[in-house]
Structure 1
Amino acid sequence: MLKNYQKTLCCLLLICSSHFAIAQTVPDPASHFGFPIGEDYKLATFTQTEAYFKKLAAASNRTKLVNIGLTEEGRAQFMLIISSPENMKHLDRYQQISRQLAHGKGLTSEQAKSLAAEGKAVVWIDGGLHANETVGIHQLIETAYQLTSRNDEETTGILDHVIVLMTHANPDGQELISNWYMRHKDPLKRTISGVPTLYQKYIGHDNNRDFFMLNMKETQNMGRQLFVEWLPQIMYNHHQAGPAGTVVAGPPYRDPFNYVFDPLLMTSIDAVGAAMHNRMNTEDKPGYTQRNGSVFSTWYNGGLRTTTYFHNMVGLLTEIIGGPTPADIPLVPSRLLPNSDSPNPAQPQKWHFKQSIDYSVSLNYAVLGYARRYSDEILFNTYKMASNSIRKGGTDTWSFSPKKLEAINDAAKNDPALATVNRSGLPVKYYDAVMKDQKLKDARAYIIPADQADITTAVKFLNALIRTGVDVHQASAAFKVNGKNYPKGSYIVKTDQAFRPHVLDMFEPQDHPNDFKYAGGPPVAPYDAAGWTLAYLMNVKFDRIADQLEGPFTLLPNGALLKAESTEPVKAQAYQLSAAVNDSYVVVNDLLKAGAEVHRNTADGSFYVPAAGKSLEVLKSSAAKLGLQLVPAAAKPQQLVRLKPSRIALWDTYGGSMPSGWIRWLMEQYHYQATVVFPQEIDKGNLNSKYDVLILVGGAVPAAANDGGGNRYQMPEPENLPNEFKDRTGKLSVEKSVPALRAFMEKGGHVVTIGSSTALAYHLRLPVRNALVEMTAAGTERRLPAEKYYIPGSVLRADFDQSNPSNWGMDKAADVYFDNSPVFKIAPEAISGGQIKPLAWFGNPAPLRSGWAWGQAYLQDGVTAFEAKVGQGKLLAFGPEITFRAQTHGTFKLLFNQLYL
């Protein structure tokens, strides 16, 4: 008996010593990087971080390093999975449980509870998305080290119950920012400001606005892990900086929250936020603010944190102060008095990088500690939210929204019998009139017909859904619904699925509440956009089905991308490509690059391609890759114009413009050749010798009186600027740039302006004026105040002149993305004389389709896009953001049409 006991004891000691030895071999950051994480004036590069993660994975049996894909610059993007050695042996099983519970289908409540008891909570922690927010990636390094090296009860308990997905969100950005900061030998000269390019190849800060669209490689990599592979129950997205006078802003967040969310999601965010806040106070770490203490809400979809909400995940965001260069917490008296948003204010003081790292690690441990204690509850709640979504999508339901509540109130106001009724409550009949109206029922499904004109763009829309884990069906035969026939191959997106909130959000209009600081006061700006309905922005044709839908439908594999199907074209002398199809422009560009003959039919803008020589080969190859059907031309059109590719210049600036970066990416996707130009080159003039078209995105052109906006992209010029970037500095000016642009147009050049850069029309003294102004008592014009007119990022419906070549391929009425965008009044004689042609306008007083529009009646009859003759050339002015974040496929052709000779 004693011998057996001694033998068991020896084995336990060997196991413990072996475990301790493994932990001891984990390299600490100082030994690898040459400095401890959080040391002032020191940043780690991605090259160093990649090598360190590989060391951790090799040294510790708690880790697995996964390459989740390549970045836009070709670097490996890593996710470090950390858990107990025992859990690491069964990762596949725990991943399967996480997926089963997240999707919810086919499980009873009892089965879900059993899986939740067996499973491990999965928590995502990322860092470095916004690379100039340097705390993010460095806290990731430090937390990874502590989780792989510490053997205290808290850490081992976390690892026993939790699987941690530590994800590097932006390798390219870390390499750029860290090398830029560390380039000075003198630490006191080190600064992050003045970086010459965006810290994501194309879109910089907008990499946190790409998570329902998933255009960029990095967001695709992360989206697959979040929405298809792992489906974590909690995800934590690190950012900075906190509001002035605080240290960190975190959950819970301010209203409004999106009405499609399950209420359990909101209370779960509150619970995890309380755990984070409590830990800060327990550890004497003051300065945490929540709810109205910061600007962050849970309305928006599209961010790394916010898109997870639409997938029943507890998404966390913190914004913390700090960086490698010591700074100060400023004195903000209003922040010093404790309140429910900030019960433990921070005092003004000098702040060091290590303090931010310590705070961040504590916050991570707070989240992981919560996941440890409530692992089975967290897993089951994921199932509960999924099953709620499935139930709602499979029954008749009516969701609340501000417009529906307004309809109830309006009905009651018009009832004279209610004059003497106690207005603290209304008769239920008014509720029933709206919330039981069959026309207002929630959708059960959406049908995307396969025979719509631009099916390849519809497939891109479906792939955006699929990348976020949404289930899609396809019809294996023709079918009929509500008297309408649909062809085989049509797609069906049902709402009786776990991610119903995301499905609704992509198809249905967002109904943002009227949110003002006080009655009659200024509006409270939404966090990012107010409306973004993707099906509208992409001009996808779909039918909304409110009743149960059955048919010859096949469920497609989850996460597997679609491709539009093309067939061998019928032999013909020539083929036509529709201007309404975005991918037609890809084929045209491939043909032009090959030197093939391409014409445009001036009757409708379609492309006419003789099937001669290399044309047929290029046509077949390009169309097959895209899934386009080649249509034989019935006859040669009488009015044809031979096309040539334009020499395209795209404005950019030192430090990088995100709108310009998005268009640069777009040009590559649609096979245009564009040259990036900077202000100095424009100011030199003689642009016609090199370019035919110049694109000026929002923020490029200086503001004009009563215009607002204006150029926003002037970066500070750092000392010792490398020679390769010296020609990028400066900004466009009225004095030098406008005359150069005028000369370019007068000699035949075309200038395309978007958003605030349409102010060029005012600088050119064209007969246009701002439509959104009012007269003051003094008899002068001023911009409408926000209390009267305010339209943050939303989707509006505009009317288009289909006969104008600039609008070829557009519908008569189409959706545009509008963000307090320019609207114009044009002198009647300028229109009648042919100098200016309106391209788009608001023909009714209520053009809002999705989002928030206060005072939208002011838009009626306002022109939102026009073209104007300037000498032998043209100015194209598009007030709406026609290429916004590469989401607005429905208006891409407004740009594409300008890019040919």
Structure 2
Amino acid sequence: IADWQQITGYFNRLDAASDRISVKEIGKTTLGKPMIVAFISTPENLKNLESYRQMSQKLADPRQVKSQAELESLIKNGKTIVSISCSIHSTEIVASQMSMNLAYELVTANDDETKEILDNTILLLIPSSNPDGINIVANWYRKNLGTKSEGTSPPELYHHYAGHDNNRDWFMLNLRETQNITKLFWQEWFPQVVYDVHQMGQNGARFVIPPFFDPPNPRIPPLILREVGLVGYKMAADLQAANIGGVATNTTFDTWWHGGFRSAPYYHNSIGILSEAASANLMSPVVITRDKLVKSGRARGLNSPLETATNHPDIWEGGTWRPIDIAQIEMTASRALLQLAAKFRPRYLRNFYELGKANLERQKDEPQAFIVTAGQPNAETVARFLEILMWQGMEVHQMTRELEIVPDRNKPNDFGEIPLGSFLVFTNQPQKNNVLSLFERQVYPQRLNANGEAEVPYDVAGWTLPLQMGVETVAAWQIKDLAQHRNTLRKIENSNQARKILNLKVTNGSFQALPNPLKSKPKIGLYRGFTSSMDEGWTRLVLDNHRIPFRAVTDADFRRKKLDYDAIIFPSQSEKEIVEGLKAENYPAEFSGGITEQGVENLKNFVEKGGKLICFDDSCELVIKRFNLPVKNVLNNLKRSEFYNPGSVVQLKVDAGSALSKNLGENVAAYFINSSAFEITDTNKVKSVARYAEKDVLLSGWVLGEKYMNGKTAIAETDYGQGKIILFAFRPQHRGQTFATFPFIFNALEK
């Protein structure tokens, strides 16, 4: 296994030895490691990289192309810009190792196919978009070779904050790695094709590629969906020609959700490809028996990995599965993509341009603009929201005079005034679909299986960003006398320009930490076990981003009663995960065992003596049970045919009289992702601070069986001995996106 120093060292040596590759650093990781991209093409193309970058930039914004002759020149002379990115999930390690082989092959081979690829494409090869994780996994794997822990996942998140969720950050841009690659893609190079190389579980199909499963997002252009499918079928055909079985299409992964590495490009008029290869045990081979394949169960679109189907015509019967098998498949798929990009270069460039051009024309179901209204109390959040939009290439304008707009499409003659100082985002810009998909409320189709059960989507159903962040926006279906007033709109060029308008201090650099919102100075502990909780990581990110000091509370701290804190936060983790932790049969004693029953008793003692315990979502179940609280989760044991909410924005009704509700309105948008809904059986002991709305609880996404959560408690608090317990039925810091509910956390932490 090669660690990040070895991978970057290899690429730098390849750069020194060949004129077909140029390695550049694009920024630092969260932990300060260099992130690199290898530009691979002919020597002549690499000498003129800046010229080709400008061509791609012009094609991405048709307003810059002044004539048909200029367009034809760009298509004739431009190159298809392709990015292949490896191992964002660093336990899916093989692609990072494969990247070195792919680079070597492209810079040394002299066959006609390779020459055609190099002549017609510029490859942006990213050996890993998570270098910190590559080191974590490599070090853990080496340390445990030949032990019971060989091939296991490390007992820590393989991204400092996000772990596996680092591929859920591609519209929010919380992470340095996401910010760096977003800048590379959507501020600089504008790739026509982005390929994100992944692995999955061991016991299903050997390789899953496009076309993807339903449903598609209605804001993805149909041409993009067709092109995605075309690339997938080329990969599948080449793999079949190489007699590689177990390749499946049209299964498991859909194109509904926005925020992934391969799904974000759809909203930039680019083709996004995801592949998922069956995993080994990191870099150790595994034996997959036929019985394991039988027991793997049904996936969406694939009844069994042992069943022949049109989308899975050649089954894999089982046997030894090695990292080299994975690498061979990924190499073949990468070459298939590059062949298409080279052979049909003019087609990809023209389609890219035409998609952007089409976005400049307004359609009947689209507002003219979205407006972030002036005078909102949360100026720092508004500034961060605008920075997120602009970083991924959206155009934002300041209104320097009042404008009259129609906010309701059903009342075309009812104009209302919007104050100067507001920010306006036109929909008719090359990134129209990105604008719409982030501002609009998602309406996920109700998809039920033959048993009436909700079909589980790939990720979440709704994500409307202004709702999640608590930013007030209004759709402008018509702007009165826009032509007359257009010269009063001032384009915002950078985030500091927006900050000045909002009367905020300018910052040095992008995405800087926000001011600490706490008035007091509590001693805060955050539970951090060894089961690699992403929710714990996101909680750390929110605290760090708001400059709130805290310390990690470990399993050993709970066992030894080292709980000298004013408040302890439990992120969303199950009772079993917290109490029992990792299994001793797979992990050394220092990492296994959880907080134990003794730790639970010590936790109870901490609260009884005056401590504050704050629980998010799943961790509430432990506390309700062990502290014998008169609260129950009414959603427990409901069938998926009765209730299902896989990730949606919902409405809370808030008790304004509670200290937890300070600086919050009566209505607050919260994020619900397979979360809880509480019923309090003794209101003398437990108080409801916020409830899910009595009706119309869904703001964006999908909920089946809304009646089960209507009016139920979403935030509860109770005294326990001399201390206090605060229960969040949802995750108020979900993926670092839900700025609207962050104040609940801050209020809960105050002394």
* Fold match (TM-score > 0.5): yes
1:217 to 164, 173, 176: 176
1:453 to 357, 368, 377: 377
Deviation at residue 850 of structure 1 after TM alignment: 0.5
- Confirm or deny: 8 A CA contact 2:91 2:153 kept in the other structure: no
**Can you list the C-alpha shifts for 1:830-851, whole angstroms capped at 9, x where unaligned?**
32x3x22111112323200101
Secondary structure of 1:501's counterpart equals: helix
Q: What is the identity, as a one-letter code, of the residue corresponding to 2:176?
A: K
For residues 466 and 717 of structure 1, the distance between their equivalents in structure 2, rounded to whole angstroms, comes to 48
Deviation at residue 369 of structure 1 after TM alignment: 0.1
**Can you list the C-alpha shifts for 1:499-535, whole angstroms capped at 9, x where unaligned?**
11111111111111111122x4221111111111111
Q: Is 1:497 the counterpart of 2:429 in the alignment?
A: yes
Bigger shift: 481-490 or 712-721?
712-721
For residues 253 and 21 of structure 2, the distance between their equivalents in structure 1, rounded to whole angstroms, comes to 33
Bigger shift: 841-850 or 334-343?
334-343
Q: Is 1:528 the counterpart of 2:450 in the alignment?
A: no
Secondary structure of 2:388's counterpart equals: helix
Q: Is 1:746 the counterpart of 2:591 in the alignment?
A: no
Q: Is 1:676 the counterpart of 2:552 in the alignment?
A: yes
Q: Is 1:175 the counterpart of 2:135 in the alignment?
A: yes
1:853 to 674, 699, 703: 703
Secondary structure of 1:173's counterpart equals: helix
1:620 aligned partner: none
Deviation at residue 228 of structure 1 after TM alignment: 1.2
**Can you list the C-alpha shifts for 1:777-832, whole angstroms capped at 9, x where unaligned?**
xxxxxx221101111110000100111001111110110000121111112xx32x
- Confirm or deny: 8 A CA contact 2:149 2:587 kept in the other structure: no
1:891 aligned partner: 741
For residues 242 and 732 of structure 1, the distance between their equivalents in structure 2, rounded to whole angstroms, comes to 29
1:542 aligned partner: 473
1:714 to 546, 571, 581: 581
2:326 to 339, 353, 356: 356
For residues 692 and 440 of structure 2, the distance between their equivalents in structure 1, rounded to whole angstroms, comes to 22
Instruction: Structure 1 unaligned segments of length 5 or more: list them.
Output: 1-42, 399-441, 570-582, 590-642, 703-709, 774-782
1:514 aligned partner: 446
1:553 aligned partner: 489
1:658 to 529, 534, 540: 534
Equivalent pairs counted in the alignment come to: 716
**Can you list the C-alpha shifts for 1:525-558, whole angstroms capped at 9, x where unaligned?**
1111111111100000111111256331122338
Deviation at residue 92 of structure 1 after TM alignment: 1.1
Q: Is 1:695 the counterpart of 2:619 in the alignment?
A: no
1:297 to 220, 238, 254: 254
2:508 aligned partner: none
- Confirm or deny: 8 A CA contact 1:245 1:330 kept in the other structure: no
Bigger shift: 234-243 or 529-538?
234-243
Instruction: Structure 2 unaligned segments of length 5 or more: list them.
Output: 295-303, 407-414, 506-511
Secondary structure of 1:105's counterpart equals: helix
Deviation at residue 448 of structure 1 after TM alignment: 0.8
- Confirm or deny: 8 A CA contact 1:99 1:231 kept in the other structure: yes
Secondary structure of 2:573's counterpart equals: coil
Q: Is 1:336 the counterpart of 2:306 in the alignment?
A: yes
Residues 535, 674 of structure 1: alpha-carbon distance in 2 compared, 3 angstrom cutoff: same
- Confirm or deny: 8 A CA contact 1:523 1:787 kept in the other structure: yes
Q: What is the identity, as a one-letter code, of the residue corresponding to 2:697?
A: P
Residues 390, 242 of structure 1: alpha-carbon distance in 2 compared, 3 angstrom cutoff: farther
- Confirm or deny: 8 A CA contact 1:177 1:192 kept in the other structure: no
2:278 aligned partner: 321
- Confirm or deny: 8 A CA contact 2:513 2:546 kept in the other structure: no
Where do residues 204-353 of structure 1 align in structure 2 (5 Å cutoff)?
A: 204-241=163-200, 244-292=203-251, 295-323=252-280, 324-331=283-290, 332=293, 334-353=304-323
Deviation at residue 560 of structure 1 after TM alignment: 8.6
Secondary structure of 1:736's counterpart equals: helix
**Can you list the C-alpha shifts for 1:293-332, whole angstroms capped at 9, x where unaligned?**
xx11111111111111111111111111244211134423
- Confirm or deny: 8 A CA contact 2:467 2:669 kept in the other structure: yes
2:62 aligned partner: 104
Secondary structure of 2:515's counterpart equals: helix
Q: Is 1:790 the counterpart of 2:644 in the alignment?
A: yes
1:466 to 384, 390, 407: 390
Deviation at residue 160 of structure 1 after TM alignment: 0.1
Secondary structure of 1:497's counterpart equals: coil
Residues 670, 286 of structure 1: alpha-carbon distance in 2 compared, 3 angstrom cutoff: same
Bigger shift: 98-107 or 358-367?
98-107
Secondary structure of 1:66's counterpart equals: strand
Secondary structure of 1:390's counterpart equals: coil
For residues 766 and 655 of structure 1, the distance between their equivalents in structure 2, rounded to whole angstroms, comes to 26
- Confirm or deny: 8 A CA contact 1:799 1:813 kept in the other structure: yes
For residues 71 and 698 of structure 2, the distance between their equivalents in structure 1, rounded to whole angstroms, comes to 42
For residues 749 and 240 of structure 1, the distance between their equivalents in structure 2, rounded to whole angstroms, comes to 43
Q: What is the identity, as a one-letter code, of the residue corresponding to 1:473?
A: H
Q: What is the identity, as a one-letter code, of the residue corresponding to 1:692?
A: D
For residues 585 and 41 of structure 2, the distance between their equivalents in structure 1, rounded to whole angstroms, comes to 44
Compute the TM-score of the two structures, normalised by the length of structure 2: 0.91
Q: What is the identity, as a one-letter code, of the residue corresponding to 1:344?
A: D
Q: Is 1:370 the counterpart of 2:340 in the alignment?
A: yes
For residues 313 and 493 of structure 2, the distance between their equivalents in structure 1, rounded to whole angstroms, comes to 49
Secondary structure of 1:586's counterpart equals: coil
Deviation at residue 585 of structure 1 after TM alignment: 8.4
- Confirm or deny: 8 A CA contact 2:231 2:337 kept in the other structure: yes
**Can you list the C-alpha shifts for 1:206-262, whole angstroms capped at 9, x where unaligned?**
111111111111111111112111110001101002662421111110000101111
1:563 aligned partner: 499
- Confirm or deny: 8 A CA contact 2:715 2:729 kept in the other structure: yes
1:27 aligned partner: none
Q: What is the identity, as a one-letter code, of the residue corresponding to 2:749?
A: L
Deviation at residue 588 of structure 1 after TM alignment: 5.1
**Can you list the C-alpha shifts for 1:657-687, whole angstroms capped at 9, x where unaligned?**
1111111121111111111012231233362
Residues 148, 715 of structure 1: alpha-carbon distance in 2 compared, 3 angstrom cutoff: farther
Q: What is the identity, as a one-letter code, of the residue corresponding to 1:822?
A: S
- Confirm or deny: 8 A CA contact 1:463 1:561 kept in the other structure: no
- Confirm or deny: 8 A CA contact 2:558 2:600 kept in the other structure: no
Q: Is 1:50 the counterpart of 2:17 in the alignment?
A: no
Deviation at residue 109 of structure 1 after TM alignment: 5.9
Q: Is 1:198 the counterpart of 2:157 in the alignment?
A: yes
1:756 to 618, 622, 628: 618
Secondary structure of 1:891's counterpart equals: helix
Compute the TM-score of the two structures, normalised by the length of structure 1: 0.76
2:509 aligned partner: none
2:364 aligned partner: 397
**Can you list the C-alpha shifts for 1:446-467, whole angstroms capped at 9, x where unaligned?**
1112321112201111111112
1:631 aligned partner: none
Deviation at residue 165 of structure 1 after TM alignment: 0.2
For residues 427 and 713 of structure 2, the distance between their equivalents in structure 1, rounded to whole angstroms, comes to 38
- Aligned-residue Cα RMSD (Å) equals 2.3
Residues 277, 585 of structure 1: alpha-carbon distance in 2 compared, 3 angstrom cutoff: closer
For residues 891 and 240 of structure 1, the distance between their equivalents in structure 2, rounded to whole angstroms, comes to 34
For residues 716 and 762 of structure 1, the distance between their equivalents in structure 2, rounded to whole angstroms, comes to 23
1:82 aligned partner: 40
Residues 510, 360 of structure 1: alpha-carbon distance in 2 compared, 3 angstrom cutoff: same
- Confirm or deny: 8 A CA contact 2:249 2:312 kept in the other structure: yes
Residues 245, 644 of structure 1: alpha-carbon distance in 2 compared, 3 angstrom cutoff: closer
- Confirm or deny: 8 A CA contact 1:796 1:849 kept in the other structure: yes
For residues 820 and 369 of structure 1, the distance between their equivalents in structure 2, rounded to whole angstroms, comes to 42
Q: Is 1:130 the counterpart of 2:130 in the alignment?
A: no
Secondary structure of 2:208's counterpart equals: strand
